[in-house]
């Protein structure tokens, strides 16, 4: 999550792969920066039995429009079948030997 960052909201939403976590994050610049303008990000996290898939979308512009576009994308997102499993809590601890894989989709860079 990093310094100068806080989760503003999180909710479970539907996707083409089942339920995923949608997180809205606010990131503020450090005190030494020349700016005080916050950056907002949507994180989409699909917890699975073997893998965890994530999308990190930086919002430029209207947050409501960005959320609508991300939600539209999620209904078309092709996640491997084993991505979303029976684990439903956002603080999932993977079983010994399991791995995580993060997939970043930069198509939302200019929302």
Contact present, 105 and 57 (Cβ < 8 Å): yes
Domain spans, the chain: 5-108
Both structure tokens of 44 = 């989409």
51-75 pLDDT, tens digit per residue, is 888 899 999 889 999 999 999 999 9
- The residue whose two tokens read 């491997």 is 80
Host H or E run for residue 56: strand 52-59
Q: Report the predicted TM-score, pTM, of the whole model to 2 decimal places.
A: 0.66
pLDDT of residue 36: 81
pLDDT of residue 12: 96
31-48 pLDDT, tens digit per residue, is 778 888 888 999 999 887
Contact present, 48 and 18 (Cβ < 8 Å): no
pLDDT for residue 28 is more than 70: yes
Host H or E run for residue 12: strand 5-15
Contact present, 30 and 81 (Cβ < 8 Å): no
């Amino acid at each position: 999550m990093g310094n100068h960052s806080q989760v503003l909201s999180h909710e479970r939403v539907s996707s083409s792969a089942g339920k995923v976590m949608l997180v809205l994050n606010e990131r503020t610049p450090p005190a030494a920066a020349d700016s005080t303008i916050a950056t907002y990000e949507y994180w989409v996290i699909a917890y699975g039995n073997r893998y965890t898939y994530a999308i990190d979308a930086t919002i430029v512009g209207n947050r409501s429009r960005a959320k609508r576009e991300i939600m539209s994308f999620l209904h078309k997102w092709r996640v491997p079948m084993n991505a979303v499993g029976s684990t439903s809590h956002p603080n999932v601890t993977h079983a010994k030997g399991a791995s995580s894989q993060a997939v970043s989709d930069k198509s939302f860079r200019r929302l």
